Amino acid sequence: MAKNIVDLLWRHSPAAPPTARRGPKSRHSTDDVVDRAVALADAEGLPAVTIRTLAQALDLSTMSIYTHVNSRADLLVLMADAMHARMPSPPADGSNWSERVRGVAEGNLRLLRAHAWLIDIQDPRVALGPGTIAKYDRELHAFDGTGLSALDRDAALTFVLDFSRSSAARMHTDERAAAFADAWTDAAPRLATYLGDDMPLARSVGQAAGEAMGAPYDAGAAWEFGLTRVMDALSALVGGDARLGGR
């Protein structure tokens, strides 16, 4: 019988229904299965996480994995919620709202940089998990004292998380940019000879940016620029200057 995803996510809750077992006790728990799946994803990427490879890693039969999870899709939901549960909690006191929100953005970027496979898990059922709900609650508190309505608080948090997620995805796909820095020194003047006077705006702006960054793209600079704009937008919504620590 298939297990409800909510029951799987909340399996450690005192309110969880008792699990009926038949046959010998499993050598591994559902937590073991999720932890090994996370380790596989960290080491080899999300495509490496299949029911078959997971069974091999745990020295179990494929059918044994299905006694813990209904499907690979359910497994990915459990993995994402587990990572959210383990995410360090930022300090809630002693800072103004803008510092707390910036901390939320930076914390999510660190999580997604450390476990890039999370970027590819888009299943909305992740929102049902205890780790994800606890994370949501903590991060909503970053906007305490701003006077935002419940809907605006939720939308503002989504705005911040979407920015962190998109930035992490760009950083992940553009990791080769660092290796390109040396090549840029040689390529830039050669490219200029081909461009000539064509597309002068692209040439002048690209040259200025390239000289400043030493490459066509700098993920760190893009992050800082974008996060400052995010904070400016939220400051306008709240009615204070986020960069000056307004409440």
CATH number of 18's domain = 1.10.10.60
Q: Cα–Cα distance between 28 and 18 in angstroms, integer?
A: 18
Q: What pTM value is reported for the model?
A: 0.81
Instruction: Tell me: do 119 and 222 sit in the same domain.
Output: yes
Confidence category of residue 197, pLDDT binned at 50, 70, 90: confident
pLDDT, position 243: 42
pLDDT greater than 80 at residue 64: yes
pLDDT digits (tens, 9 = 90+) for 79-122: 999 999 999 876 555 579 999 999 999 999 999 999 999 999 99
pLDDT, position 196: 66
pLDDT, position 145: 93
Q: Could you say which of 68, 84, 100 is where a domain stops?
A: 84
pLDDT, position 247: 38
Q: Cα–Cα distance between 24 and 182 in angstroms, integer?
A: 60
Mean residue pLDDT across the chain: 85
Instruction: Tell me: do 120 and 228 sit in the same domain.
Output: yes
pLDDT, position 166: 95
pLDDT, position 131: 97
Instruction: Tell me: do 167 and 236 sit in the same domain.
Output: yes
pLDDT, position 173: 74
Looking at residues 120-129, what average pLDDT do you find? 97
Instruction: Tell me: do 75 and 144 sit in the same domain.
Output: no
Structural domain of residue 111, as residue ranges?
Answer: 91-174+218-244
Instruction: Tell me: do 131 and 168 sit in the same domain.
Output: yes
Confidence category of residue 180, pLDDT binned at 50, 70, 90: low
Instruction: Tell me: do 131 and 166 sit in the same domain.
Output: yes
Instruction: Tell me: do 16 and 97 sit in the same domain.
Output: no
Instruction: Tell me: do 130 and 231 sit in the same domain.
Output: yes
Other CB atoms closer than 10 Å to residue 212's CB: what's the count?
10
pLDDT greater than 50 at residue 244: no
Contact by Cβ (8 Å): 156, 237? yes
Instruction: Tell me: do 48 and 132 sit in the same domain.
Output: no
Looking at residues 180-198, what average pLDDT do you find? 68
Instruction: Tell me: do 145 and 204 sit in the same domain.
Output: no
Percent of the chain having pLDDT more than 70? 77
Q: Could you say which of 31, 64, 84 is where a domain stops?
A: 84
pLDDT, position 94: 59
Q: Which residue has the higher pLDDT, 39 or 190?
A: 39
Instruction: Tell me: do 102 and 160 sit in the same domain.
Output: yes
Looking at residues 53-63, what average pLDDT do you find? 94
CA triple 181-102-170, angle to 5 deg: 35
Instruction: Tell me: do 22 and 97 sit in the same domain.
Output: no
Q: Could you say which of 65, 84, 103 is where a domain stops?
A: 84
pLDDT greater than 70 at residue 1: no
Give the end-to-end CA distance of the chain in Å, rounded to a whole number. 52
In the chain, the number of structural domains is: 3
pLDDT greater than 60 at residue 50: yes
